[in-house]
Amino acid sequence: MEAQGILWVGPEIFSEIVEGYANDRDLDNSIPMYNQMRTCLSKGGGFHFPPCYILNVCGFQILLDCPIDLSALTIFSPIPTDSYRTLDVELSDCSPQKPSIPDLGDQNRRKIEKSLEANDLICAEPWYKTVNSLHLWDASFIDIVLISSPMGMLGLPFLTRNKDFSAMIYVTDATARIGQLMMEDLVSMHMEFRQFYGPGEPSFPQWMKWEKLELLPLALREIALGRDASELSSWLPLYR
């Protein structure tokens, strides 16, 4: 991934950077430096998906982190191997017999286990789940991007390829280096899927069609669509 337009700085001088921008724009000095408004674009989901915010500081729109939800990749099936197929057959042959007396609790457990079977996963080249609310923002309105961790920069290529994006990106040297390694590893892993499944589909893949999504187990469908079924547009093919 290219590091063009990225400035490597220490977090302790970030306030000075913003203050410098404020002076250049002749903003009212009576406005407190940290009198800011925060918009939560995503609460995240732990280490694999850090939160994402838009901060309004002295009239500047600052994007805090630009992650992708790596945990959402669990809806896709791993590339099958011979050992995987053999193990799957052995597990099927060794499955316990159904009890003679129906047990409601056991039936419910089997339904949950059924929703997590390998055959229910999506067998296709993975797409990647970005911050859905970020797509609602005009990229030209973002003045600064502040990256706080390597996980928080994995979605940057999706944003920087927008022709209206012109913001400066601030990140420490260590974060940028680790983030670049993670991006390269992600692209390398994805190429293995492309070699197995072949070239991707031109517009959107078959699994994104509504009739296919309805066949997914509830747990996987919620990951793909979100709980309010509004997050399908957040899925994008990986950058190269």
Rg (CA), the chain: 22
For the chain, give every domain's residue range: 6-72+122-236
Backbone angles phi, psi at 7, to 5 degrees: -105, 130
Q: What is the pLDDT of residue 109?
A: 44
What is the structure's pLDDT at 200? 66
Which residue shows structure tokens 């419910």?
108
**What integer pLDDT is reported at residue 144 of this predicted model?**
96
Q: Are 10 and 172 in contact (CB under 8 A)?
A: yes
Which of 240, 32, 235, 7 lies closest to 127 in space, CA to CA?
Answer: 235
Strand-pair partners of 37: 56
Q: What is the DSSP string of the chain?
A: ---TTEEE--GGGHHHHHHHHHHHTT--TTS-TT-EEEEEEE---STTS--EEEEEETTEEEEE---B-GGGGGGBPPPP-HHHHHHHHHHHHTPPPPPSS--HHHHHHHHHHHHT-GGGSB-S---EEB-GGGGGS-GGG--EEE--SGGGGTTHHHHHTSTT---EEEE-HHHHHHHHHHHHHHHHHHHHHHHHH-SPPSS--GGGSHHHHTTS-HHHHHHHHTTTT--GGGEEPPP-
> What interhelical angle do 218-225 and 104-115 show, nearest 10?
40
Task: Name the stretches of the chain with pLDDT < 50.
Answer: 1-4, 9, 11, 14, 18, 21-22, 24-35, 83-113, 115
